[in-house]
Amino acid sequence: MTNLTEIKLSPNLKYIGNYAFQNSGIANDINLPYGLKICGSGVFRNTKVKHILVPGSVTTLGLDAFAENKNLEELILNKSSWSNLADWDITGIPTSCKLYVPVGSENLYKKNPKLGKLKVTEGSYDFTFNNANAHDTHYHMTVTSDNPVTVDGVTYAGEAKYVYHPANMQLTSYNRFTADNYETDVTNGANKKYLMTKIDDSTLDMCSHVTEVNIDKMKHLRHIGRRAFFYTGIQKFTVPSTCVYIGEMAFASCQKLSELMLLNNEKRTWGGQFYGQNATGFKCYTHWRSYYKYSDSVEGWKIFVGDTNRPIDRLEAYFIADQGAKAYAFSVLQDVDWNATGLNAYYVTGYNVEEKMVYTHKVTDSYRGVGLLIDGFKTDSIYKLKKAETISPKPDKNYLVGNAREEVVVTNKDQWTSQYLFSESNKNFWRSSTSYTLKPGSAYLKIQDFAVKDINSFGIDIYSQAPGDINGDG
């Protein structure tokens, strides 16, 4: 055995040759740098090392690289595919050694004829915050891409995600988790900044002591993994518009969670039921244009033990206006109590050809899917659309047609039927000379009367102050 007792690795190391440190007296913790590609045969065979981390960048790893390490207490293998290799040599490694592996691969490693003899548990990572001991921090990161990326004028070494480690459950004195826009890998003297884009599966799973998760600085969050916040103590959470995926059970069993706000991203998907068994009165709010997609999915979700409401009863829409809009022609696949919501809502119940005017009727509540005019909002303010418990009788006629569920093409090829679009800035209805596609959540004016075929626009009584149902009293 050589007299070598400690080594310091370069953060830019790419290759470690066969038997490089075999039979040495090395005893310091070994965190191989992210970026290392090849770690040869017998590299750390028969040393005094207690802790070895192999990052996900390693593509070639000697299967006997760690054999005869009788003092080894922790081995971190941050790659799921290594569980498939049957010829590992773990001779001399104590069976009490903990083997940390990626979330989702624990059972695969336990089935491995060699590695399965160690104490396999989920919780591998590439680096920690400030190179802290993994058992002393909530912040464990895995690199997802080492391709440099430039965002807002800043170049990062790649992208990374927050990942699970058992310490996250054990550090009960820490009740806050603050995600950042980037995390820096300082392992072995490195200074590599990684853009944070994911909160991975089970990151804070069962962390009931965590009562606050702050992601305000995480400007590019794209992915929230399965059970990411399961059974945490969070009370409110907003999923940003950058997020394109929510994993199954991500917010389930958060028994203090009273509000989950889903800012709009039309491309967002989810892996299954992501809430349930939350606080009494819990609500999940989604953008009114996307409400139909969520409601279609949530209708099939199960009622968890202890829940007194169906998941669909917890789902409500919210409204937020675009910059410059003064009113909206609107529809949503939800019964709405407009008095409780704090917005004005109107049906269009009549029209006058000579005055080129339509007449409105103010409503206090409305059925799902109907066409409405709404106003009384402030730009950029979010209005939660409270579900109506009862609905007042509808007027005999409403000339607004809602398209709450799907896009609709508005056209005027039939002289007996005229269709008009609503101008959010001018607050009138106008006829398009070409076909026009409306997004879900909109409404348009439809009048079946030959007498209006040459009318290109209609004023609206409440905005024109012309004779009509100005006060909404019929």
Q: pLDDT by residue (tens digit) across 40-76? A: 999 999 999 999 999 999 999 999 999 999 999 999 9
CA distances in angstroms from 166 to 101, 172, 223, 307, listed in the order given: 11, 12, 21, 29
Per-residue confidence (pLDDT) for residue 416, from 0 to 100: 87
Per-residue confidence (pLDDT) for residue 467, from 0 to 100: 46
Comparing 159-163, 339-343, 388-392, the range with the smallest average pLDDT is 388-392
What global pTM score does this model have? 0.93
Which contacts of 264-270 are long-range, i.e. CB under 8 A and separated by 24 or more positions? 264/289, 264/290, 265/241, 266/290, 268/243, 268/244, 269/244, 269/245, 270/245, 270/246, 270/297
* 184: pLDDT strictly greater than 90: yes
* 472: pLDDT strictly greater than 70: no
Q: Supply 103's token pair.
A: 């979330």
Contacts of 295 (CB under 8 A, 6+ apart): 312, 315, 333, 334
* 394: pLDDT strictly greater than 90: no
Whole-number average pLDDT of the chain: 95
If one compares 365 and 465, the residue with the highest pLDDT of the two is 365
Per-residue confidence (pLDDT) for residue 456, from 0 to 100: 95
* 272: pLDDT strictly greater than 60: yes
* 15: pLDDT strictly greater than 70: yes
pLDDT digits (tens, 9 = 90+) for 109-148: 999 999 999 999 999 999 999 999 999 999 999 999 999 9
Residues 19 and 43 sit within 8 Å (Cβ to Cβ): yes
Identity (one letter) of the amino acid at 383? Y
Measured CA to CA, the distance from residue 108 to residue 111 in angstroms comes to: 5
Per-residue confidence (pLDDT) for residue 412, from 0 to 100: 86
Per-residue confidence (pLDDT) for residue 323, from 0 to 100: 84
Banded pLDDT at 267 (limits 50, 70, 90): very high
Please state the rounded mean pLDDT for residues 267-280.
97
Per-residue confidence (pLDDT) for residue 465, from 0 to 100: 63
If one compares 325 and 218, the residue with the highest pLDDT of the two is 218
If one compares 323 and 247, the residue with the highest pLDDT of the two is 247
Per-residue confidence (pLDDT) for residue 55, from 0 to 100: 98
Per-residue confidence (pLDDT) for residue 176, from 0 to 100: 96
Banded pLDDT at 2 (limits 50, 70, 90): low
pLDDT digits (tens, 9 = 90+) for 449-467: 999 999 999 999 999 864 4
Per-residue confidence (pLDDT) for residue 474, from 0 to 100: 43
* 471: pLDDT strictly greater than 70: no
Banded pLDDT at 470 (limits 50, 70, 90): very low
Banded pLDDT at 1 (limits 50, 70, 90): low
Q: What is the 3-state secondary structure (H, E, C) of the chain?
A: CCCCCCCCCCCCCCEECCCCCCCCCCCCCEECCCCCCEECCCCCCCCCCCEEEECCCCCEECCCCCCCCCCCCEEEECCHHHHHCCCCCCCCCCCCCEEEECCCCHHHHHCCCCHHHCEEEECCCCEEHHHCCHHHCCCEEEEEECCCEEECCEEECEEEEECCCCHHHHCCCCCEEECCCEEEECHHHCCEEEEEEEECCCCCCCCCCCCEEECCCCCCCCEECCCCCCCCCCCEEEECCCCCEECCCCCCCCCCCCEEEECCCCCCEECCCCCCCCCCCCEEEEECCCHHHHHHHHCCCCCCCCCCCCHHHHEEEEECCCCCCCCEEECCCCCEEHHHHCCEEEEEEEEECCCCEEEEEEECEECCCCCEEEECCCCCCCEECCECCCCCCCCCCCCEEEECCCCEEECCCCCCCEEEEEECCCCEEECCCCCEEECCCEEEEEECCHHHCCCCEEEEHHHHCCCCCCCCCC
Banded pLDDT at 379 (limits 50, 70, 90): confident
Per-residue confidence (pLDDT) for residue 425, from 0 to 100: 87
